Structure 1
Amino acid sequence: MRLFNRTPAEVRAAVVPPDRVLTYAHGPDGHVIATDRALYLGRLRLPWFRVDRGVWDEEGLTVVTTDGQEHRVPLPEPGRIPEAVRERVISSILVSQYVPLDARGGVRLVARRAEDGEVVWQLGFDAGLDGDDPGLRALAEQALEGARRSFGI
């Protein structure tokens, strides 16, 4: 048992082991907890490699996941949550490279370290490009193969 643990019991109870609490904030809809492995928004657990970005304003936090979902959390007193979100999202990124595909635009290739240590590659096509288009998809896959070889990942 740790002496002088100032993290409230309800915060510790909300975290799935082996996650370690880095910081937390109280919100009207529950706690927002940043751990070494994930961001907890109430009962929702988002591993860092699935968080694309966090956006702050005076009313709270909007978290955008890598699949484009948005989660809005009122958080009038965020404490150190903004710093933790920024640091953990950045630390999950191994490679971020933009590759033009054709005259209409390109794709961002992002490699992130998952919780289990595996590398997860994500493709982010420019607005207006259809990532399901077979021709664009083939160009993106070629670019991805080149990035994997280049970075050794």
Structure 2
Amino acid sequence: MATSTRTRWWSRSRGLPADAHAGWLTSLREEPGRPARILAWAGEDDRFVVGSPAVLSTGGGAGWQHVGWHEIERGGWNDELRRLSWVRLDGRRGEVELAEPGRLPELFRERVEATIVVRQFVALAGDRGVTVSARRPLAGGGPLVWHTSLTRGLSWQTPGVREAVDDALAQTRAEFDMR
């Protein structure tokens, strides 16, 4: 009977190659309060994507980047392009191509949605407006992160928009804090 060199599914690395797992663990431990548990992963050669309870990690070897699920405003899997992409709350974008995504697309959607505590649309001009949201980190506690996003057709440069958004944010926060 041949001995398998693959890691058992129930192991800590969940099948992630040993060197990639070691680099990921080392990098993740530099950011306290983030559980080092793999929920799903994909990748090949020396580039990987790892989904853990608190973060989405991309990289390989000693070069890993971690994004808290609560920092991702939107994104998802494009099956035609075989690409997982996202936009962070600060506008930075990320993407990774995956030949075999496994469970990552579902995990991505579930984890990002799990961070949303409040999401409220406030109309400013007809069907145009702002979405006010509060997000929570999925590990280590921490304060809610409040964010506003304008719908298409509105611009921060339009006179009065910034003030209207500030009012909508203040109202939503006051309403939420009273609950």
Where on the TM-score scale, by shorter chain, does this alignment land: which range?
Answer: 0.7 to 0.9
Following superposition, the deviation at residue 133 of structure 1 comes to 4.6
After superposition, give the CA deviation of every residue in 1:44-70 in whole Å (9 maximum; x if it has no partner). 211111112223224221222223333
Q: Distance in 1 between matches of 2:71 and 2:58?
A: 13
Are 1:39 and 2:56 matched, yes or no? yes
Q: Unmatched 5+ residue regions in structure 2?
A: 1-9
Aligned residues: 150
User: Pairwise CA RMSD of aligned residues?
Assistant: 2.2
Q: Distance in 2 between matches of 1:98 and 1:27?
A: 40
TM-score, scaled relative to structure 1: 0.85
Find the counterpart in structure 2 of residue 24 from structure 1. Answer: 41
Query: Where does structure 1 differ by over 3 angstroms across 4 or more consecutive aligned residues?
Result: none
**1:51 and 1:89 in contact (8 A); partners too:** yes
DSSP-derived class of the 2:167 partner: helix
Q: Could you say if the C-alpha distance between residues 129 and 118 of structure 1 is closer, same or farther in structure 2, counting changes exceeding 3 Å?
A: same
DSSP-derived class of the 2:49 partner: strand
After superposition, give the CA deviation of every residue in 1:114-134 in whole Å (9 maximum; x if it has no partner). 354211111101223222556
Q: Could you say if the C-alpha distance between residues 74 and 29 of structure 1 is closer, same or farther in structure 2, counting changes exceeding 3 Å?
A: farther
Find the counterpart in structure 1 of residue 164 from structure 2. Answer: 139
DSSP-derived class of the 1:122 partner: strand
TM-score, scaled relative to structure 2: 0.73
Find the counterpart in structure 1 of residue 175 from structure 2. Answer: 150
- Pick from 129, 135, 154 the counterpart of residue 129 of structure 1: 154
- Pick from 68, 91, 98 the counterpart of residue 114 of structure 2: 91
Larger Rg: 2
Amino acid aligned to 2:119: S
- Which deviates further from its counterpart, 117-126 or 129-138? 129-138
